[in-house]
């Protein structure tokens, strides 16, 4: 269905609605984004009722916010699109060049296409707004130079206005091994922005940028959120002025002169994703998880239990040692064995070899075939670590082609992890790396690539101008080419942990590595907030050694197992040193994961707003709400002497559940506060209504202890 609307356009799905005034003659303006009001009645009267008043001591007209805000509309905030060319005004005055088109608008979403133009400046802009069946909105602009001389684009953002109720901002920061740390503040007048100039998404990237009602939580309050689906420099922001309600926006962060449009050339912004929830942050997660799961390329096969060799052997690659590790991995139920850094020429530490993607003959005289063959014979898939965007100065590639480094001639960026960035937008460099990767995948039976990216892009210059945009597109092209030629190979986005997690890279990969830390206490927070916009099946989570090499913290096995269970599970531990008891517990855990992964990787993620800040309570509930699994985790000692009741969210109030304790995650304790009758018995029957509103008695756990529960409807 295609309509040229003389009335408001409405995109609605899953309880949310985006209502736009497209009556013209200006660009469409957003009247409402939030809860679906249902029948709009007389739409003419609706337009009349929503016409804003004139602001005090401002322009002599109502200030309306079109999809691309401009100063001609009275908007004094950040422009939606800005740039310059000699001899023309610096401010855009876009008008419709053809009627707005609405396609497929019904209760399952729809699509809005807007074509506008500024004849004086010589630009044409095509804007697409889409809503999927889960209420997720995505927005993108394409800007074309229609003049006879170049146009320099300075900024192009996608934004939507949010409700007047918005009073707080929540975003995230972080560092290596401590990603997704929340920071919350009041929503003030002016701009609140998060910018990244790292050339990659970044450890400190917000991922999801939220504004909401005062005091919103996981299970309550209205929340609006934006995510920029781009892996290079980017910005997320909210802006509020006295003349207008707040806006939420995002876009690529362009360096000066980075986008210079020749006549007839176009720039397309990344997709920016917007989601609203009337039921707190869990409502956002539900929409965004469903959006990703509906993609054609979303993984459909069970997510295999992995063992990654990094924290088991580091650079100590010996066939006998790795074969023994593989045999032990198969014994405990591992399904995919991944050989990490250290397999290629000259790579005995992190100072050399990057760029020389040939198997080191001094370590592997017969190539990787003996290890690959043994792994396959044990019934496991084989995976391999690569870092194709980087180069060590101490490498044959860098010595032969120093001009292939992403830098200005005569300048070198500061070293990071002893490496520089390879300019993949340079055709010769791209062709060389693509050929090496194709050769590896052609020679060996590789089911999985762990694709790493271990440094920021500092002073990146390609062909005389800022190089992040061109580099990002080249990486996307390389990933797309590999997937097309080797369709069975899965790829993980690892960027020194969680520094490249965004929907742009996820379009081309099958999972992300949330962090380089396997410390379960750090991981609980990291996975909690990564999970706001990435579902569990795409988030790698591994059981590490008792003492985490990133923090030095020693944690008991049960909480390490429970933490890794709620993701794409794996092991990163030299399990040849494990006791028989530890191996038995790992085998039981992998069996449980395999049994639960249909639930864990398709159900709704739920998190409780627990009254005790030292406690995390989260779970996954099946779509029909007949099966669930929850984890209660004590991150530090509590101020309480009696634990708060266990209230489990997301269940069906009218269903009776059999709540069973998973004994394999319990630590032995004789303290009276841990003796809870129903837990001692091992199970209890209770309704979903009681579990949500009244709860169950809970034990007071020691720090770094946990309780895992499985629920089944009777």
**CA–CA distance, 388 with 435 (Å, rounded to integer):** 11
Phi, psi angles (nearest 5°) of residue 114: -125, 125
29-35 and 16-21: which strand pairing? antiparallel
* pLDDT surpassing 50 at residue 2: no
pLDDT of residue 48: 80
pLDDT tens by residue, 260-279: 999 999 999 999 999 999 99
pLDDT tens by residue, 325-364: 999 999 999 999 999 999 999 999 999 999 999 999 999 9
Tell me the residue length of the chain: 714
What does DSSP assign to residue 701? P
* pLDDT surpassing 50 at residue 177: yes
Q: At 130, which helix (H) or strand (E)? A: strand 123-131
**CA–CA distance, 75 with 604 (Å, rounded to integer):** 40
CATH number at residue 201: 2.70.98.60
The mean per-residue pLDDT over the stretch 472-487 comes to 98
Q: At 622, which helix (H) or strand (E)? A: none
Gap between the terminal Cα atoms of the chain: 44
Number of domains within the chain: 3
Domain containing 231 equals 2-293
The mean per-residue pLDDT over the stretch 276-297 comes to 97
**Whether residue 330 is found in the same domain as residue 463:** yes
42 as an active site residue: the answer is no
pLDDT tens by residue, 73-90: 888 999 999 999 999 999
What does DSSP assign to residue 405? B
pLDDT of residue 467: 98
The mean per-residue pLDDT over the stretch 694-708 comes to 95
**CA–CA distance, 341 with 311 (Å, rounded to integer):** 10
Block residue for tokens 């934006």: 226
Looking at the chain, the whole-number percentage of residues with pLDDT higher than 70 is 98
pLDDT of residue 672: 67
Phi, psi angles (nearest 5°) of residue 707: -135, 125
**Which of 62-76, 175-189, 335-349 is the least confident region?**
62-76
CATH number at residue 426: 3.20.20.70
CATH number at residue 656: 2.60.40.1180
**Whether residue 569 is found in the same domain as residue 681:** no
**Whether residue 237 is found in the same domain as residue 167:** yes
pLDDT of residue 61: 80
373 as an active site residue: the answer is no
Residues 687, 653 contacting (CB under 8 angstroms):
yes
**Whether residue 597 is found in the same domain as residue 660:** no
pLDDT of residue 668: 59
Higher pLDDT, 177 or 668: 177
pLDDT-derived band at 3, boundaries 50, 70, 90: very low
**CA–CA distance, 506 with 502 (Å, rounded to integer):** 6
pLDDT tens by residue, 494-516: 999 999 999 999 999 999 999 99
pLDDT-derived band at 4, boundaries 50, 70, 90: very low
* pLDDT surpassing 90 at residue 650: yes
Which stretches within 456-533 are classed as H helix? Answer: 468-485, 503-506, 520-530
**Whether residue 21 is found in the same domain as residue 86:** yes
Neighbours of 458 (CB within 10 A): 17
Token readout for 320 is: 């006998």
Q: At 688, which helix (H) or strand (E)? A: helix 688-693
Residue 301 lies in a domain: no
Active-site choice (452, 456, 502, 510) = 452
Final residue of a domain: which of 259, 293, 327? 293
**Whether residue 614 is found in the same domain as residue 593:** no
pLDDT of residue 1: 37
Q: pTM value? A: 0.97
Q: At 16, which helix (H) or strand (E)? A: strand 16-21
């Amino acid at each position: 269905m295609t309509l040229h609307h003389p009335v408001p356009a409405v995109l609605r799905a899953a309880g949310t609605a985006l209502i736009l005034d497209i009556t013209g003659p200006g660009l469409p303006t957003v009247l409402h984004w939030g809860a679906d009001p249902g029948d709009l009645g007389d739409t003419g009267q609706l337009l009349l009722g929503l016409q804003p008043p004139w602001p005090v001591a401002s322009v002599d007209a109502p200030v309306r916010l079109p999809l691309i805000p401009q100063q001609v509309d009275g908007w004094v905030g950040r422009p939606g699109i800005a740039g310059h060319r000699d001899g023309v005004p610096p401010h855009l005055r876009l008008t419709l060049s053809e009627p707005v088109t609405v396609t497929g608008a019904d209760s399952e979403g729809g699509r809005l296409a807007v074509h506008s133009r500024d004849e004086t400046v010589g630009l044409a802009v095509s804007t697409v707004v889409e809503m999927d069946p889960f209420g997720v909105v995505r927005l993108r602009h394409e800007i074309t130079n229609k003049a006879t001389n170049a146009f320099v684009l300075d900024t192009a953002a996608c934004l939507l206005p949010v409700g007047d109720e918005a009073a707080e901002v929540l975003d995230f920061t972080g560092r290596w091994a401590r990603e997704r740390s929340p920071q919350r503040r009041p929503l003030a007048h002016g701009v609140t922005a998060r910018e990244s100039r790292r050339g990659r998404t970044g450890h400190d990237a917000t991922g999801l940028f939220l504004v909401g009602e005062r005091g919103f939580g996981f299970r309550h309050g209205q929340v609006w959120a934006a995510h920029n689906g781009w892996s290079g420099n980017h910005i997320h922001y909210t802006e509020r002025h006295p003349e207008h309600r707040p806006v939420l926006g995002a876009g690529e962060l362009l360096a000066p002169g980075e986008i210079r449009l020749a006549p007839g050339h176009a720039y397309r912004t990344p997709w920016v994703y917007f989601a609203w929830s009337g039921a707190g942050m869990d409502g956002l997660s539900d929409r965004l998880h469903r959006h990703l799961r509906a993609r054609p390329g979303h993984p459909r096969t069970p997510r295999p239990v992995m063992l990654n060799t990094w924290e088991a052997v580091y650079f100590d690659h010996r066939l006998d040692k790795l074969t023994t590790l593989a045999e032990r991995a198969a014994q405990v139920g591992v399904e995919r064995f991944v050989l990490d850094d250290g397999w290629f020429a000259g790579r005995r530490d992190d100072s050399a070899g990057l760029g020389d993607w040939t198997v080191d003959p001094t370590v592997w005289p017969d190539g990787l075939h003996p290890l690959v063959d043994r792994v396959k014979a044990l019934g496991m898939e084989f995976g391999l670590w690569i870092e194709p965007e980087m180069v060590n100065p101490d490498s044959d590639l860098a010595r032969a082609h120093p001009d292939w480094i992403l830098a200005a001639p005569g300048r070198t960026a500061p070293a990071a992890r002893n490496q520089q960035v390879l300019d993949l937008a340079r055709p010769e460099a791209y062709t060389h790396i693509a050929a090496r990767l194709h050769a590896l995948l052609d020679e060996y039976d590789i089911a999985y690539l762990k694709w790493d990216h271990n440094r920021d892009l500092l002073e990146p210059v390609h062909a005389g101008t800022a190089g992040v945009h061109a580099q990002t597109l080249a990486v996307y092209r390389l990933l797309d080419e590999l997937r097309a030629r080797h369709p069975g190979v899965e790829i993980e986005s690892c960027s020194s942990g969680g520094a490249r997690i965004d929907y742009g890279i996820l379009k081309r990969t099958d999972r992300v590595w949330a962090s380089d830390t396997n410390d379960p206490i750090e991981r609980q927070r990291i996975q909690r907030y990564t999970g706001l916009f990435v579902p569990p099946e795409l988030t790698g989570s591994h059981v590490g050694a008792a003492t985490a090499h990133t923090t030095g913290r020693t944690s008991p096995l049960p909480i390490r197992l429970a933490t890794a269970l709620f993701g794409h599970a794996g092991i990163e531990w030299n399990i040849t040193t494990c006791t028989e008891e530890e191996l038995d517990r790992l085998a039981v855990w992998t069996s449980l994961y395999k049994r639960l992964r249909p639930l864990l990787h398709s159900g709704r993620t739920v998190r409780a707003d627990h009254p005790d800040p030292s406690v995390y309570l989260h779970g996954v509930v099946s779509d029909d709400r007949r099966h669930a699994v929850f984890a209660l985790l004590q991150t530090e000692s509590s101020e309480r002497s009696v634990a708060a009741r266990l209230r489990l969210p997301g269940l069906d109030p009218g269903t009776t559940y059999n709540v069973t304790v998973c004994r394999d995650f319990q630590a032995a304790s004789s303290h009276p506060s841990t003796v809870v009758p129903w837990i001692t018995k091992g199970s209890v029957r209770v309704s979903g209504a009681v579990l949500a509103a009244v709860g169950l008695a809970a034990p007071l756990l020691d720090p770094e202890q946990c309780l895992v529960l499985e629920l089944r409807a009777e």
